[in-house]
Amino acid sequence: MIIHKELMGDRWNSLSIIEQMANIGCDVDRAIRWRNKGELIDSRNAFERALELLQFTIADPKNRKRLKELCPLKEHLVDYFMYNNEHASTDEWFQNYFFNFNYIYALQRGK
């Protein structure tokens, strides 16, 4: 099931990698916050949205040179939210990683 039908293809691909990653990061942050509040359904929904956006980003032709970063990121997110966290990821690591994209995007927009 596709969650972000309106973002498929050209619309998502028209965003810069910074914008794409900032959007993914917002949903990852929501998934973390909901999980920490014990709201597992909301957390799962946010995680699934983030995962779909990350898959769109991986499929975006302009990001081919970033696959060595994006594919392991996907693996770590799935491991963290759905399996046993064998990579020993933390909330803080994901929040810090995605914060950088949000910060750069805010600077680019002049905020």
| Structural domain boundaries in the chain | 5-108
Tokens of 104: 């750069």
pLDDT at 102: 93
pLDDT at 56: 94
pLDDT band at 109 (very low <50, low <70, confident <90, very high): confident
Tens of pLDDT, residue by residue over 60-90, are 999 999 999 999 999 999 999 999 999 999 9
Residues 61-75 as b or e (16 or more Cβ within 10 Å = b): eebeeeeeebeebbe
Q: What is the mean pLDDT of residues 16-27?
A: 97
pLDDT at residue 1 tops 60? no
